[in-house]
Structure 1
Amino acid sequence: MKWLRRCLLLIVVLIALLLGWLFFGGGRRPTSVAMSAVTAATLHDPALIARGEYLATLGDCAGCHTAQGGARLAGGRSLPTPFGNIPVPNITPDRSTGLGDWSFEDFWQALHVGKGRHGELLYPAFSYTSYTKVTRDDALAIFAWLQSLPPVHQSAPSSTLDFPYSVRKSLAAWRALYFREGVFKPDPAQSAQWNRGAYLVQGLGHCNECHAARDSLGGTSGDQHLTGGQIPMQNWYAPDLSTRQNGGLQGWNAQDIVDLLKTGQSARGAAFGPMADVVATSTQHMSDDDLHAVATYLQSLPPRALSPEEPQLFNARAIVQQGEKVYTQHCADCHGKDGSGVASVYPPLDGNSSVTEPTGLNATRMVLLGGFAPATAANPRPYSMPSFAQQLSDSEVSAVVSYMRRSWTNKASVVRPEDVSRYRHTPID
């Protein structure tokens, strides 16, 4: 199958190379007079810069554009993907390695159209598939703030993408399949709060980039909006975000969502893994109005169809019974015999989306490697989850995770020992 996929991709590349110049031109798109009328005085407006900083925080720009231990927003790292590593650019106003020579039109073209300063197609590791929904006014504010930062001279690392993904012109075919350009359009049938939440979730928040399944080409289909999916290369599952029947957040109310995004903790669960980073660097800084707007929008997501339970080809009951013993010995003191946890200290396991998500990946890796909730202004010293990788065997981890996934009100599938072994030896990026 891998060989067949590469052959098909090679055909796509050849077609894209023939048609690329016709549809996407190699040169830079001309700048209209109206679009180039952003003056230096505008970019130095303190109010605009302050708004841009807030919006860039909502977009979590630093989450990708800052290397561990490096200068803020100066790039210097690569994003691992199933297709190879993609360098993250410097977006400080350094003239030779950053955005110092960029005009606002250049920035708008990247954010809205997914094209670089010279018309080159950008790889969708940069989430322009979501950022295209950002308004021009908000893009201008973000650009003004970026231009106000101290410049940092730091070049991006080299790309290590495999062929044919290394051929930028091949992105023409990918874009035709997965990219729809267009600023967010408010729904007149919905409230202003709902529309604000939809704008943040679909655009700056780019939530669907993680919370939807990706196919073999790295794209998401139009009908998979916030329906949950495994995050490529990070070995975590981002849950379905619907709060309604069969949704990943079924039973969550608006305050639960607000609390999780603001503090990293809620009555229904806590943020761990990649979401803990998002809370720490982005969502905890959101205004209360924006937090409630996001919650309003997420609560409007439709109910989901009930997933058919997979047939069990082994003795699931025996695994769960063994898991109850492991749980009583290692877990019940913190999370309670009934899985209810301790409010604002130890998250509940009953009804917890990280426990019941379809793959069992999150709960398994939490038991193996432990977990760390984000430190936030509202919760500066959260409790962490210890690692049990050295204490529990694969069969014991399988048993206790399966017990948690099938006890109380949880009705998820069991996790097999061979799954635990695979997760145990897969690093977290």
Structure 2
Amino acid sequence: MSRTGKVILALAVVIVLLAGGWWLLRQRSTTAPSRPANAAGVPERRLDDPALIEQGRYLAILGDCASCHTRRGGTPYAGGRRLPTPFGDVPAPNLTPDRETGLGDWTFEDFWRALHWGQGRDGRLLYPVFSYTSFTKVHRDDALALFAYLKSLPPVRQDNPTPALPFPYNMQASLAAWRSLYFQPGEFVPDPAKSAEWNRGAYLVEGLGHCNECHAPRDALGGTAKKPQLSGGQIPAQDWYAPDLSMQANGGLAGWSEQDVVDLLKTGHSARGTAFGPMAEVVTQSTQFATEADLRAMATYLKTLPPRRPSRASAEAGDDAEQVQAGAKIYADRCASCHGKDGQGVAGVYPPLDGNSAVDEPTGINAIRIVLLGGFAPTTAANPRPYSMPPFAQELDDHDVAAVVSYIRQSWSNHAGTVLERDVAKYRHTPVD
């Protein structure tokens, strides 16, 4: 197709989306029903309940709310952090109870509308960078606890920046069309055939933990596939790959035990791997503070994710013996002293590379970035002085990095695709955050 033809096709798609979105806005099929002006609110004395506030504090930690709603060096929950998307940056709003710039004048029904329906206090549709596609599953009682906690915070006046989204992504009609494809509101419904522990884990992983927002592939419109859940995917605009979370055959965590999952979420490292990149922040800010019961519930749920079909790596595979041989020499010189000749690492110190989900993931992005920029495990109460891996960007050129990463991805029990010099060049100058 010619360039002109592609432009015409793109314009036609935009027109169809906007027309469909306009119709959907009129139908309001995935938006909150209107609330009578005289609807009863939650009594203030209920929101002042210390037990409810404490429950909300814990739930806010499980939801990792502060990570997005706090700019670097800023007051927690006061917003201002710009969240990158392929369609433009969206700033996270102020969640403190400031009356002019935060939630000070919000009622619980306003908050419920945002969390459950993805709709602002003024009725406008919210951008799905706020993960209401998952938060819709949060139970109303838990939403009330979250609201009570946020209302208990010291108010901070901090204006909310305007999203930097170009046409047509800044249109409400476009959002309505997107929601019709990817958003289904509804609270989590327990499975009576499963244990209470499994249901608790499913509720946290699918709902407040919003794990599928990162650990699932996204299409060109930014939507996630409904099935299979948690099957792994590249995190948009961040250039990290969130691995498949199935612990069964061909899953990203195949061979992991429930204890391995608990250890990673609690301490940042386990016998099977270490948290790096965005997951390190999740551990630091969120999961290390979860109760043992909740961590085990999440592990119990993940253990029941179905086996996956064998898939070809998206990185270019091949039997480049010369590249792998060159990589073997670099590995012996630079890596084996910590990770071992057999790729098993040192328990509790250096993570294994054999069977490591960060090594085996389909794209090779994670291993490339860690070799270039270093690997920095999260600091946690259980592991206050984690060992880190130094960056090799200044010591190894693109050819060397491609060689050693390819060697690691095809050694021992690893059978991932090789990577190319152009892959390395693409991520050499990618910002860490």
TM bracket (short chain): over 0.9
Instruction: Tell me, in whole angstroms, the C-alpha distance in 2 between the residues paired with 1:396 and 1:311.
Output: 17
1:161 maps onto 2:161 in alignment? no
Offset from partner CA, 1:24-71 (integer Å, 9 cap, x none): 6999821486x7341111000000000000001000000100000011
Instruction: Tell me, in whole angstroms, the C-alpha distance in 2 between the residues paired with 1:205 and 1:112.
Output: 14
Instruction: Tell me the equivalent position of 2:292.
Output: 288
Q: Is contact 2:30-2:183 (8 Å) kept?
A: no
Instruction: Tell me the equivalent position of 2:223.
Output: 219
Instruction: Tell me the equivalent position of 1:181.
Output: 185
Instruction: Tell me the equivalent position of 2:389.
Output: 385
Report percent identity of matched pairs: 62
The 1:149–1:31 alpha-carbon spacing in structure 2 relative to 1, beyond 3 Å, is farther
Instruction: Tell me, in whole angstroms, the C-alpha distance in 2 between the residues paired with 1:200 and 1:384.
Output: 30
Instruction: Tell me, in whole angstroms, the C-alpha distance in 1 between the residues paired with 2:249 and 2:91.
Output: 40
Q: 1:108 aligns with which of 106, 112, 126?
A: 112
Q: Is contact 1:241-1:248 (8 Å) kept?
A: yes
The 1:109–1:54 alpha-carbon spacing in structure 2 relative to 1, beyond 3 Å, is same
1:235 maps onto 2:239 in alignment? yes
SS in 2 for 1:372: coil
Instruction: Tell me the equivalent position of 1:13.
Output: 18
Amino acid corresponding to residue 296 of structure 2 in structure 1? H
1:351 maps onto 2:371 in alignment? no
Instruction: Tell me, in whole angstroms, the C-alpha distance in 2 between the residues paired with 1:424 and 1:399.
Output: 15
Q: 1:419 aligns with which of 415, 419, 423?
A: 423
Instruction: Tell me the equivalent position of 2:45.
Output: 41
Instruction: Tell me, in whole angstroms, the C-alpha distance in 1 between the residues paired with 2:187 and 2:36.
Output: 19
Amino acid corresponding to residue 14 of structure 2 in structure 1? L
1:262 maps onto 2:266 in alignment? yes
Instruction: Tell me, in whole angstroms, the C-alpha distance in 2 between the residues paired with 1:309 and 1:211.
Output: 16
Q: CA deviation at 1:147?
A: 0.3
Instruction: Tell me, in whole angstroms, the C-alpha distance in 1 between the residues paired with 2:312 and 2:41.
Output: 56
SS in 1 for 2:359: helix
Q: Is contact 2:268-2:380 (8 Å) kept?
A: yes
Amino acid corresponding to residue 18 of structure 2 in structure 1? V
Instruction: Tell me the equivalent position of 1:396.
Output: 400
The 1:400–1:204 alpha-carbon spacing in structure 2 relative to 1, beyond 3 Å, is same
Unaligned runs of 5+ in 2: none
Offset from partner CA, 1:273-330 (integer Å, 9 cap, x none): 0000000000000000000000000000000000136796865222111111000000
Amino acid corresponding to residue 20 of structure 2 in structure 1? I
The TM-score, its normalising length taken from structure 1, stands at 0.96
Q: CA deviation at 1:225?
A: 0.7
Offset from partner CA, 1:324-361 (integer Å, 9 cap, x none): 10000000001111111111111110110000100000
Amino acid corresponding to residue 29 of structure 1 in structure 2? S
The TM-score, its normalising length taken from structure 2, stands at 0.95
Amino acid corresponding to residue 13 of structure 2 in structure 1? L
SS in 1 for 2:193: coil
Q: CA deviation at 1:416?
A: 1.0
Q: CA deviation at 1:169?
A: 2.5
**CA-atom RMSD, angstroms?**
1.9
Q: Is contact 2:19-2:173 (8 Å) kept?
A: no
SS in 2 for 1:365: helix
The 1:26–1:58 alpha-carbon spacing in structure 2 relative to 1, beyond 3 Å, is closer
The 1:71–1:321 alpha-carbon spacing in structure 2 relative to 1, beyond 3 Å, is same
1:203 maps onto 2:210 in alignment? no
Instruction: Tell me the equivalent position of 2:149.
Output: 145
Q: Is contact 1:394-1:417 (8 Å) kept?
A: yes
Offset from partner CA, 1:101-137 (integer Å, 9 cap, x none): 0000000010001111021111100000000000000
